Amino acid sequence: MIVGLFPELSSTGGIPRSGCLTALALASFAAQRGESCRFVSLSDPLGPGSVKTGSREIHFTGCGGSKPRFVSTGCGLAIRQPSIVVALYPDQAPVLAAMKILAPGMRSAVVVHGVEVWTPLPAAQRWSLQSVDRVLAPSEYTLSRAMREQRLPAAKGRKLAWSLGPEFDARLAPPSSSAPAGFPPGRIILTVGRWEANEAYKGVDHLITTMPTLLKVLPDVQLAAVGEGSDLPRLQSLAREAGVSGHVHFLPFMAHDELPNAYDHCDVFAMPSRGEGFGLVFIEAMARRKPVIGGAYGGTPEIVEDGINGYLVRYGDIEQLTDRLQRLLSNDSLRREMGTQAFVKVQREFTFARFSSELSIVLNDLLD
């Protein structure tokens, strides 16, 4: 049996989406080996659950946010002697350590994502992370930071970049005809994320700050921010204070299969963040042939090639951000050229087939 431990699977956001990708790849790997698969989610509602990704359905057991139940469920599965257990967040490494006591022969891997491992973890979590067989990270930057800050042996680390999900297969899905509900007419800057106070580093406030200058040159420019969270009132207030609330549109979270429509109806995707370990939203936008603007930090430069498929900007440099947005919004041919380059890069480096194959290599290596 192969076991996957997840923070959450059925909600929106980069970590649940990466969890769904991993669950699909684990299920394929298990089927190839003739093994069963069991998935456990900490925060999803209690009991059996499922989530669709493209045309495929992922079945899991939710623990309703109860950590004791999550540990108990994991240990119950360990009694059945799984061959491999993969945890999708570093704070689940102690659960793997407990399962290992009950299943000494099992192999283990933990996925780290970004900022959560860029500084040292608490001692117990760090020790648990050091004890697993493999640590997987979506970018070279996050991998190197995790290895250094958590004092991990070099042999344990592997880069495993995220990929598109089946719902973003750009070769099969034609552009959608009608814009999502709430999308305004005009030239659209799109950003997608979780607007939490502790994730203010994503730079939505900086995008809002560019709007007064952009509107002087491009009166029809609009900013569409898809997402929700505790920082939303501050962002809404910032838009009102800047006098641009009529051109800044805060839209609720969209389901995975609705996001391609949002990318199709924007002109530029932008998330000038200083804290992305990878940034799934970048490759999703690129798959829909959109140029992207990201922060020149973390794992983003491994996706966004400055001046080729988009632009990299210094965090907090409003003048530079405004200039890059204006360049793209005012030049149709530049947008098309960069959008084409973005699509080519995604098809070359970030397909689900590539992700599934590379994860299989890691897992086979563990079993060997």
Query: The sheet that has 84-87: what strands, in order across it?
Result: 47-53, 56-62, 37-41, 2-6, 84-87, 107-111, 134-137, 157-159
Residue written as token pair 């609009």: 222
Q: What's the rounded Cα separation, in Å, for the pair 272 and 281?
A: 12
Contact assessment for residue 269 and residue 191, using Cβ atoms and an 8 Å cutoff: yes
Give the torsion through C-alpha atoms of 127, 200, 257, 19, to 10 deg. Answer: 0
Provide, rounded to the nearest whole percent, the portion of the chain with pLDDT above 70: 98
Domain 2-163+351-367 bears CATH identifier 3.40.50.2000: yes
Mean pLDDT of the 188-215 span: 95
172-349 shares the fold of 2-163+351-367: yes
| Interval 66-101: pLDDT, tens | 999 999 999 999 999 999 999 999 999 999 999 999
Q: What's the rounded Cα separation, in Å, for the pair 25 and 353?
A: 9
| Interval 277-303: pLDDT, tens | 999 999 999 999 999 999 999 999 999
Q: Is the pLDDT of residue 35 over 80?
A: yes
- Write the CATH number of the domain with boundaries 172-349: 3.40.50.2000
Split at pLDDT 50, 70, 90, the class of 172 is low
DSSP characters for 206-243? HHHHHHHHHHHH-TTEEEEEE---TTHHHHHHHHHHTT
Domain ranges of the chain: 2-163+351-367, 172-349
pTM: 0.92
Q: What's the rounded Cα separation, in Å, for the pair 158 and 146?
A: 11
Q: How far is CA 123 from the centre of its chain?
A: 27
